[in-house]
Homo-oligomer: A and B are copies of this chain.
Amino acid sequence: MGIAERREREKQQRQQDIIDAAERIFFSKGIQQATMDDVATEAELSKGTLYLYFKSKDELYLAITLRGIQIMTELFQKAVQKPATGLEKAFAIGTAFFTFAQKYPNYFDALSHFELDELQFDDGCILATECSDVGQGALNILIGALKQGIEDGSIRNDIDPVRMAAIMWGMSSGIIQLTALKGKHLEQEHGFNMEGIVEESFQVFRCALERKAENE
């Protein structure tokens, strides 16, 4: 049944086209200001058609969020390719996270809002579940790096990798939100550059992860 397959492909393509249009509108005007009519016009479709593909405006934004999380996860996967030790991998992931936030601020923003408002989506929302799952996959990469580090001796062995990954995740998110959102303000008011903040944050993590001296 080649036709059925083609139609399915076209349907998928149309869905992606709608997300493309929604991205352009949402990212340029801001989600609050953007309307579904805007998106429909941008996608060269009627508004009703949008609702054939997405249940609501929130769900359409969630589709964009998922894209962001997927991109981030891919960056994490690439980041752990080269480094040898677990510690180095952990820092490579950290760097990738900051790079992601800088390169795709709109996706990072979407991610932040998702994490803050995740509970508002019910369990039936497939896209929300997928966002959670893919996000968990990203976290698993970090957990894996920490585990490896404990084994290869580059990371202290008195930490629980899952707990520490959660902590690093939360802390990194917080730092990036700070730098990404208030970066310019902090630079102007306090005169310190954001890369320095990020660098210093890494020092904090290094201190927490590295094996303590034997004489302690």
Contact = CB atoms under 8 A, between A and B. Distances in A.
Nearest to A159: B200
B170 A120 contact: no
A119 interface: yes
Interface residues of A, number: 45
A207 interface: yes
A166 B186 contact: yes
A169 B163 contact: no
Interface stretch (A41-49, A146-154, A172-180): A172-180
Given A174-B177, A181-B116, A204 B208 contact: yes
The number of times this chain is found in the oligomer is 2
A93 to B, nearest CB: 16
Interface string A172-200: 11111111011000100010100011001
B192 A203 contact: no
B181 A119 contact: yes
15 contacts: A109-B116, A112-B116, A115-B181, A116-B116, A118-B182, A162-B190, A162-B192, A163-B196, A164-B200, A167-B201, A167-B204, A173-B177, A204-B204, A204-B207, A207-B208
The 7 closest A-B pairs by CB, nearest first: A174-B174, A170-B178, A171-B171, A170-B174, A204-B208, A170-B175, A207-B207
